[in-house]
Amino acid sequence: MSDNPRHSGLAVILGRPNVGKSTLINALVGEKVSIVTHKAQTTRHRIVGLLTRGNTQIGLVDTPGLHRGGGHALNRVMNETATGSVDGVDLALLVVEAGRWRDEDAQALSVAASGGVPVGLIVNKVDRVTPREALLPFIESVGREHDFAFVVPLSARREDNLEPLVEEITRFMPAGEFLFDDDQLSDRDLRFMVAETVREKLTLLLHQELPYSLAVNVDAWEEVDGLLRIGAVIWVARDSQKAIVIGSGGATLKEVGRRARLELARRLDRRLHLSLWVKVREHWPDDEAAVRGFGH
Ligand SMILES: Nc1nc2c(ncn2[C@@H]2O[C@H](COP(=O)(O)OP(=O)(O)OP(=O)(O)O)[C@@H](O)[C@H]2O)c(=O)[nH]1
Ligand SMILES: [Mg+2]
């Protein structure tokens, strides 16, 4: 160990839905700490992914995508979760998609700037731009929207150009003791990871708007003779949704369970049994008490 003082801090990652915030955090941490799907509004919670290297620990705060909140309580709570995540951080990172600047990006920028900390710009999905030079006018025009502390173009999915970003973030981490254990990868526990994995598989298998009406809660956790038995409830907002989640002859629910169990058994490196139940709580996304009760 060197005598260099330790540095540690938080960098919040903000942006409109689907720009690749969670993919980026997973790539930086080197582990899936936050679920990813091709659909907007996948992340619903503030999740801290941890990158500890040498004397520096970076807490990367994932947030729900900032969007024009519709009337739903869930939308509102998700936007509040993202907005509130700028408090107490050392750096804000605005993620945008290469070549696409929309009103919701401007909204996310104003949230990022509201914390009074430096804002770095991340231009993600550069793998979709050819030739690369075509990026320059976009970077220049977004650069005029704010006095960014730095700009890093990268591809989170291909893990391309991540190192310059880590170096930039490191410069903004203040001296101080680590906030988390140095082998910890996230601030969330296994139950959360299980619930989110089930929600990810549901989101990938179900169509259109339905994933938005789903919440997953782990309610049983028992280890017997090396077998982990987990029970989880999938909450839906209407009876008709329950039938869709279960599928004909239970096929959809079975497939969700199969995919989630495979991934969890691999990641936890143990045998596990996963029971899924579907329950209805009428109109829960409109009901703030229910939204908060489900852990949002
Ligand atoms: N081509 C390409 N796709 C990417 C890249 N990064 C992320 N994606 C894809 O973009 C989609 C959304 O990724 P997420 O990481 O879930 O996006 P997010 O910003 O966390 O979305 P919300 O949680 O809904 O706000 C997924 O299909 C990713 O695979 C990238 O660098 N290149
Ligand atoms: Mg996300």
pLDDT digits (tens, 9 = 90+) for 88-101: 999 999 999 999 99
Indicate which residue's Cα is closest to atom 27 of ligand 1: 38
Domains of the chain, earliest start first: 7-171 (3.40.50.300), 190-293 (3.30.300.20)
Q: Is residue 272 within 8 Å of residue 230, measured between CB atoms? A: yes
Percent of the chain with pLDDT over 90: 93
**Nearest bound ligand to CA 37?**
1
Residue 241's CB is within 10 A of a number of other CB atoms, namely: 19
Residue 147 scores a pLDDT above 70: yes
* pLDDT band per the 50, 70, 90 thresholds, residue 25: very high
Residue 4's CB is within 10 A of a number of other CB atoms, namely: 10
- Furthest-apart CA pair in the chain: how many Å? 63
> According to the model, what pLDDT value does residue 149 have?
98
Beta-bridge partner residues of 104: none
Residue 58 scores a pLDDT above 60: yes
pLDDT tens figures, 150-207: 999 999 999 999 999 999 999 999 999 999 999 999 999 999 999 999 999 999 999 8
Residues 6+ apart with CB under 8 A from 285: 72, 73, 74, 75, 212, 213, 237, 291
> According to the model, what pLDDT value does residue 153 have?
98
Residue 277 scores a pLDDT above 60: yes
Q: Is residue 280 within 8 Å of residue 238, measured between CB atoms? A: yes
Residue 1 scores a pLDDT above 60: no
What average pLDDT does this structure show over 233-252?
Answer: 96
Instruction: Show the ligand 1 pocket: residues with CB < 6 angstroms.
Output: 15, 17-23, 36-38, 40-43, 64-65, 124-125, 127-128, 155-157
CA distance 89 to 253: 40
CA distance 291 to 162: 35
Q: Assign 110 to helix, strand or coil.
A: helix
Q: Is residue 29 within 8 Å of residue 51, measured between CB atoms? A: yes
Asked which of 48-52, 117-121, 210-214, 237-241 is least confident by mean pLDDT, the reply is: 210-214
Residue 241 scores a pLDDT above 80: yes
Q: How far is the CA of 251 from the centre of ligand 1 (A)?
A: 28
> According to the model, what pLDDT value does residue 3 have?
64
* DSSP at 284: G
